Structure 1
């Protein structure tokens, strides 16, 4: 298995961006404290990540991705966790593709 240099550079840049964001978050929390706005922002961040990850497949993909998005949203809402919604969405897309949806 091999990877192209462009992919490795992209992975490295994303890792650096994630570390910078985490470090910036620690600095911001030290200066700002835990105000209601900061708590609300942190509470809604996992949902924003899920939505941003789902936008491209929904616009470019077929009905299997729509099924996955609906299942992921329902599980995130009912179970109340990002992890359950994410795994449910991936599983639903896999099952929908296995069933013949595109």
Structure 2
């Protein structure tokens, strides 16, 4: 039984002392992500965005197609626009629920 104590001590010592802060779930629910509009498909309710990391979805930066929750969210958007947006997984579909011009 004493053989596991050094192993446990090694694991504790190896743990980083400066862990990255993680926002609580409530704070992550409203986090906005930086993005650039690559395509606007109003007819199909889809938006292609090149985006930074999406914290609340634990997703790295990439370019991808999102469903848009409401067609009104796409009003006035055009390719090349820099935006801030919020996305959620709704029924296993990545969906933009809020979007605004970046400032």
Indicate the structure with greater helix content: 1
Q: Larger relative CO (CA 8 A, sep 6+): 1 or 2? A: 2
Whichever of the two has the greater Rg, that structure is: 2
Instruction: Tell me which protein shows more strand as a share of its residues.
Output: 2
What's the TM-score once normalised by structure 1's chain length? 0.23
TM-score (norm 2): 0.22
